[in-house]
Amino acid sequence: MARSKSGLDRMVGGVIIAGIAFTLSSLHLVGGWIIPVGIVFGVLPMVGGLRRAIRDAEDRRQRKFEALEGRQTLEIDKKNSLEKTILRIARERQGVVTPARVVLESDAKLEDAEKALQDLSARGYAEMRVKDNGTIDYVFHDLA
């Protein structure tokens, strides 16, 4: 299957053909018929190529935007899922959650679990408590 020419390919081809046609005409090497040939086979493909190159660039930009939007949606879904897991653990464990427990009961990494718990604590949903042995518990008082 032959590959379709890109807008840039069409523009370059059009410029070359138009350039040759107009050069031959300006040097009076051929008759006046070469000007319409240069327009039809040079200028028109060049303009069409420019339009296609602009459209291709816009399509690439749109695909990048959609991919970014999809990643952002995935991250939001992941965060919401992790928060639900944390709250389920808190309900099951009388309101007490540790980062290690979150990792054991979810697909989250320890760093993500710690960030999520710190975020919930900063937003006032949990209280962070440091035990004498240095471990950190997060207490959800409304689930205790």
Tokens 């992941």, residue? 78
CA atoms of 138 and 61, how far apart (whole Å): 43
pLDDT of residue 102: 95
Lowest mean pLDDT among 1-5, 77-81, 89-93: 1-5
Give the confidence band of 39 by pLDDT, cuts at 50, 70, 90.
confident
At 128-144, the pLDDT tens digits run 999 999 889 999 998 87
Report helix, strand or coil for 47.
Answer: helix
This prediction's pTM: 0.50
Residue 25 bridge partners (DSSP):
none
pLDDT at position 19 is: 83
Per-residue pLDDT tens digits for 46-89: 888 888 888 888 988 888 888 778 777 777 777 778 999 999 99
Q: Which pLDDT belongs to residue 111?
A: 95
- Short-list 133, 26, 120, 40, CA closest to 82: 120
What mean pLDDT comes out for the span 1-5? 62
Using N-to-C axis directions, what is the helix angle for 7-26 and 44-92, rounded to 10°? 160
pLDDT of residue 99: 95
Q: Which residue segments constitute the domains of the chain, with CATH numbers given? A: 7-143 (1.10.10.10)
Q: Considering the chain, what percentage of its residues have pLDDT values greater than 90?
A: 36
